[in-house]
Structure 1
């Protein structure tokens, strides 16, 4: 089974789509697909679909959605021209506590994203920045939009979507860091301008933006970026920027005009690529 969730939901059995069009069966399939080869309890599926106060008909209605998914799976198995030994119940299993969708040896964009990102992180640790940038860029290219963009999300899918988004942001942060280490600050400016607007309280992105601006001869804009972040953090969270970011700001503030012969060092933690 092939499962794609990093964008719109697409699930295929033997190359044939089994993704339903109706919203609630899509929601059920999305939760089963994100937990492929794991049991998803009936209680979890019920809470996902109806929240804390499910209707009395919740159990039979859920069974109807499972039946609809199995009909799509059976259609895919027949269309594939299989030997008839496998049925939908072999792919979408009923177990004592819930249901289990068998992923088998098919592809998963989440699994591939995690593999590529992991390779990129290990390259970062080894200071192999070209390899890190390449692998993390490959990982991020698997995202075609927000995770499960076309699926209504209840409490459990929302949690999974937030986890995936955090993983994406982490990979993006490290890919930008690798690019900064490779001296690609000018190429990063347009991307970082969009990102700091989209995530106005994200300190790491702001720090990377400040470094890229400073290296591009835009010292004043780098200092302004820090002040905007500080104002946002104080207004929304009542917090000051982290010591690492404050030290970066002080480094830029004390550096004089960009392009001065003496380079400005990175903060002691080494979180950001060297400024100068």
Structure 2
């Protein structure tokens, strides 16, 4: 029975993915620092991604790891370093020690958040242009993925997720939304694509107002988005106003993560 270990399984994206990755004959091993009530076809592990011994034990017998665990937004450097950067190392090293063949790493558009609008669509494998310490941690995770793929032969796919929410909550998200169902399709493609090696792909739906990033590599893995944020456009615009082409949030891919409010001196 194929076993998929999901770190950060109690988080927003992990919760979305659980029912969408469930398959007959597949076991989902759910790991988080908070206890999880496991359902049919699931098992729960309470552990931290920073604990190499616990992670190696959790990886034992797994066919693939989806690494979602970590601090999900900007935070002071010491916390990002411990949980996101060291945690990514621990996950890849635990996978290597346990003989796991594939790791799907939840990266972020914030690894290239300072990509300017003039460069849209941002190409697959765009050079890191992080907008925050959080973005730096995602770029570091991608570098670890490249190392563990090329040195140890692990299939390692980095998914630069844009805005994965139940529905778009801002005008910007009309361009950057990744629907829960499309997230399921994308991660399923990452799990099942034959011999992908090292890949960096973007995660976004088929939004009419999209075109901010490339989907070529994601499609090469077998991903075909079906959802469109335009279904929510009237509702979002009624609440937030018409899109402003001069809105600073649209100046860079990272949106508000590029704003001075997240300068280092303002973090606590």
TM-score of the aligned structures, taking structure 2 as reference length: 0.27
Which structure: larger Rg? Answer: 1
Indicate the structure with greater strand content.
Answer: 2
Indicate the structure with greater helix content.
Answer: 1
